[in-house]
């Protein structure tokens, strides 16, 4: 039987007896309303009159009044809905056939299941209509399909309130692990000692903003962190979304940084045998790493969300890097760019929480640091186009290289600062790093590692 005929023959999934028994149980014992309302919403009822009755029950409960046949009938009458709900006679009939021992949880479960099936059907029909109209790209419709259906699953599996006892029971290792700092879940190591000390690593659900003026090394630092996470002793999957550079350029940067080969020499082709060997070794290591790059220009949040969902199911996910915020586009219409950036910023925070991974987002700064007299170090107020970036972020860090402003100072050559200006769950402060321009690579200072960062001189051909 074709699917259309099947739909006409069977009708939409619904259990009217379960809906009646839910409402009838509340009529007999209005203390059950709180229990039911915490699980069901009006749209979960298939019949329009059942939705109206439930909404009027909500109104009565919010005013602190009893919920029974007479009060609900009176409330429906005030709103001109009593006749459309078949009058007081129908309200009295709602508990007809209701077992002496009410199983309201079971009835609620049936109503929810049928409502979910109907939502799946409605969502699928909308997708079919979009496919038939054909005004959008197939990839966009597919991304919307994944997002819509997975959101239905999220609605079903929303967690409720948890007591301290519940939290400890669910915590891996129980109360002893919860109280032992050495056994607490730690964040993902960035590869930078002082940054890890101050943040405890990047934690799941965090939105980390890394901002700087152009040519300060935002992409370089983000790639250094991504490369470290993907090639560490216990590697984790990293997804990098670049809206500025091609995936080939990003891979070139990472390979040259790992091999400690001058990227300019690589592009020009002037390499000796040792450098070629180092590049080959670095490329083999990266080729086997769980590192994934997407260079789609102007990607929107829904596309990124859909791709990350698939990647997490197939490979797991440890870190997301987005380069960079101001090149992203928001879906829908916005009054101004600030509103669009605010929506994107909030969306990425929600993305981090939902995917349970740290999301590292690069951002441009306004020209204020360059105009500012004396100290050119960035401030939170310099974040470009929206104050909501600062509000949504768990961590905000700025890259500052004074040598850019004072190129004649030899003592500043290669020095860099990572300014941790906001951290929701930890301290703020300055982290000194080394910037190796020829390799476009940031490294720890030798003093922080107790060893030198200098590479041995390359052998000649």
Active site residues per annotation: 244
Give 71's contacts (C-beta < 8 A, 6+ positions apart): 60, 65
Pairing state between β 415-423 and 359-364: unpaired
319, 358 contact by CB (below 8 A)? yes
Q: Give the Cα separation of 145 and 140 in Å (integer).
A: 9
Angle between helices 218-231 and 273-287 (to 10 degrees): 70
Q: What whole-number distance in Å separates Cα of residue 5 and Cα of residue 8?
A: 5
| Number of Cβ atoms within 10 Å of the Cβ of 185 | 12
The tokens describing 35, both together, are: 């229990």
Asked if residues 360 and 320 have their Cβ atoms less than 8 Å apart, the reply is yes
Task: Please check whether residue 397 is in contact with residue 429, taking contact to mean a CB–CB distance below 8 angstroms.
Answer: no
The answer to whether the CB of 144 falls within 8 A of the CB of 302 is yes
What does the angle CA 455 – CA 459 – CA 461 come to, to the nearest 5 degrees?
150
CA dist list (Å): 292 to 77, 202, 242, 303, 317: 61, 19, 11, 15, 10
Q: How far apart are the C-alpha atoms of 118 and 172, rounded to whole Å?
A: 37
């Amino acid at each position: 039987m074709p699917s259309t005929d099947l739909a006409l023959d069977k009708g939409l999934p619904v259990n009217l007896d379960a809906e009646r028994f839910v409402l009838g149980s509340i009529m007999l014992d209005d203390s059950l309303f709180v229990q039911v309302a915490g699980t069901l919403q009006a749209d979960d009822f298939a019949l329009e009159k059942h939705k109206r009755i439930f909404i009027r029950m909500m109104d009565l409960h919010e005013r602190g009044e009893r919920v029974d046949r007479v009060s609900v009938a009176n409330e429906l009458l005030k709103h001109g809905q009593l006749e459309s709900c078949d009058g007081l006679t129908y309200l009295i009939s709602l508990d007809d056939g209701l077992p002496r021992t009410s199983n309201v949880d079971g009835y609620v479960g049936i109503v929810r299941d049928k409502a979910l099936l109907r939502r799946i059907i409605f969502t699928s029909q909308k997708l079919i209509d979009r496919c038939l109209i054909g005004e959008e790209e197939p990839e966009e419709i597919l991304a919307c399909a994944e997002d819509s259906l997975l959101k239905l699953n999220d609605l079903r599996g929303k967690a409720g309130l948890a007591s301290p006892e519940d939290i400890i029971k669910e915590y891996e290792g129980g109360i002893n692990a919860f109280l032992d700092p050495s056994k607490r879940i730690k964040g993902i190591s960035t590869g930078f000692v002082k940054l890890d000390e101050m943040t405890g690593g990047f934690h799941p659900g965090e939105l980390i903003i890394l901002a700087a003026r152009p040519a300060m090394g935002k992409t370089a630092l983000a790639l250094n962190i991504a490369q470290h996470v993907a090639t560490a002793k216990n590697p984790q999957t990293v997804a990098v979304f670049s809206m500025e550079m091609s995936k080939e350029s990003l891979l070139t940067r990472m390979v040259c940084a790992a091999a400690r080969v001058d990227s300019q020499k690589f592009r020009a082709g002037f390499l000796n045998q040792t450098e070629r060997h180092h590049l080959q070794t670095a490329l083999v290591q990266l080729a086997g790493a769980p590192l994934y790059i997407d260079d789609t220009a102007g990607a929107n949040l829904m596309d990124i969300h859909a791709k990350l969902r698939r990647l997490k199911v197939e490979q797991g996910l440890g870190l997301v890097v987005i380069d960079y915020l101001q090149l992203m586009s928001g879906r829908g219409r916005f009054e101004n760019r600030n509103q669009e950036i605010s929506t994107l910023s909030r969306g990425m925070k929600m993305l981090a929480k939902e995917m349970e991974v740290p999301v590292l987002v690069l951002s441009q700064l306004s020209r204020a640091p360059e105009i500012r007299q004396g100290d050119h170090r960035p401030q939170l107020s310099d974040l470009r186009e929206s104050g909501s970036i600062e509000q949504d972020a768990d961590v905000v860090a700025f890259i500052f290289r004074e040598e850019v402003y004072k190129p004649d100072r030899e003592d500043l050559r290669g020095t860099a600062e990572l300014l941790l200006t906001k951290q929701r769950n930890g301290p703020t402060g300055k982290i000194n790093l080394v910037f190796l321009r020829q390799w476009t690579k940031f490294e720890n200072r030798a003093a922080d590692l107790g060893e030198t960062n200098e590479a041995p001189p390359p052998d000649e051909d």
